[in-house]
Amino acid sequence: MKKLVLVGGGHAQLAVLQALARQRAADIDAVLVTPSPWQYYSGMLPGFIAGHYAEADCRIDLRPLAKAAGVRLQLGQAVELAADERQLRLAEGSGLDYDLLSLDPGSATDLDTLAPPVAGAPLADPWAAEHVLAVKPLAHFFALWPQLQARALAASTYQLCIVGGGAAGVELALAAAHALKAAAGTGHAGIRVSVLAPAAALLPGHAQGVRARVTRRLADSGILVVPQRAHSGTDGLRLADGRLYPADCVIAATGARALPWLERSGLACSDDGWIEVGDTHQSLSHPEVFAAGDCCTRLDPRFARSGVHAVHAGPVLAHNLLAHARGEALRHYTPRRHSLYLIACGPRWAIASWGRWSAQGRWVWRWKDWIDRRFIRSHSV
């Protein structure tokens, strides 16, 4: 009997649960460690903020999936991994040892540039601690958004700043502007939404046509784009040119950073802390460890961290875990050259981006809505 520990119920791990449900492995004793019974789906967060979805529409219940897979669900947070000893330690103090480890715990919001850590503790600065809301963990963001919205609507003036110009930052800004305008009515002129990001950081990796469409959309929605890097100071949000920028709340959509406990694990990691894996998603240093999703980096083709790749790597991760346990051949995950991104624009309208091609309209929103709901449905037992 081999002990398999799955860490994180992320996008790729869902495929592992489904594979174990299809072919119950009598030779494997599996446990899933994850902090919550819910796996939140980032693709639907903008639609939740915009008011198109309830929170319950945007998450997958891991309990029935684990049950169907014959996997024990242990609610907890991994805080330490000693890869050489094959030992995982959880926040509650308990430990798990394993023969085979599958890592899909995602990533954290990269707060280092926005709110530089003080003595290693991010957000130790009181202004940042009170005003900066990181987009991840998603469960936390889903819980806090209604409070943020209520505070904005109750105030006579409210400045919401989204720091980060990637697809996530842009979608959050458009969704927030739509939600606040819809809830406040046209009479509330005191709410302002801004996106702060250097020009080169606006939708990096997307074609010029997509950037032009998004820029128009931001302008039409009354969102101010400030083409500067921003960081939090003791007295507020400061721009790269030294000016203080008015901000009642700062949403950090500043990209992903590696989870510190994985950086310290003894697994081969890149300089910035991502677990190094090959095209089979097996650790380069510890063959009994597999990783997929945001937490890892591929050395062959480097590709962007995204839910799309996490989902597509899932079936390969699932196959390889069982194959490794049985001494069978591993499979490769070959990412497609281009991935389709559907960028929600606040109202039921979206922009499609695929390589150099782009399109927009209500029909793109309906397409995105169909894909996203289908993803959630396909993981409902």
Contact positions vs ligand FAD (CB under 6 A): 7-12, 33-36, 39, 42-43, 45, 77-78, 104-106, 135, 168, 171-172, 293-295, 305-308, 310, 341
Contact in structure between 177 and 147 (CB atoms under 8 Å): no
For ligand FAD, give the closer residue by CB, 38 or 158: 38
User: 179 in the Ramachandran plot: left (φ > 0), alpha (ψ -120 to 50) or beta?
Assistant: alpha
CA distances from 205 to 195, 202, 333 (A): 18, 9, 21
Tokens of 296: 């890892």
- Shortest CB 293 distance to ligand FAD, Å: 2
Q: Which amino acid is at 309?
A: H
For ligand FAD, give the closer residue by CB, 36 or 215: 36
- Shortest CB 7 distance to ligand FAD, Å: 5
- Shortest CB 21 distance to ligand FAD, Å: 18
What residues are paired with 109 via a beta bridge? Answer: 256
Provide the pairing of β-strand 95-97 with 87-90.
antiparallel
- Shortest CB 42 distance to ligand FAD, Å: 3
For ligand FAD, give the closer residue by CB, 238 or 376: 376
For ligand FAD, give the closer residue by CB, 138 or 226: 138
For ligand FAD, give the closer residue by CB, 78 or 351: 78
- Shortest CB 91 distance to ligand FAD, Å: 8
Dihedral sign, CA of 350, 351, 352, 358? positive
For ligand FAD, give the closer residue by CB, 83 or 238: 83
Task: Report the SS3 class of residue 217.
Answer: helix
For ligand FAD, give the closer residue by CB, 104 or 125: 104
- Shortest CB 256 distance to ligand FAD, Å: 7
Report the alpha-carbon distance of residue 265 to residue 87 in Å, rounded: 10
DSSP labels, 218-283: HHHTTPEEE-S-EEEETTEEEETTS-EE--SEEEE---EE--HHHHTSSS-B-TTSPEEE-TT-BB
- Shortest CB 314 distance to ligand FAD, Å: 8
For ligand FAD, give the closer residue by CB, 50 or 152: 50
Tokens of 104: 């899909």
Contact in structure between 301 and 338 (CB atoms under 8 Å): no
- Shortest CB 136 distance to ligand FAD, Å: 6
Nearest in space to 59 (alpha carbons), one of 110, 22, 11, 107? 11
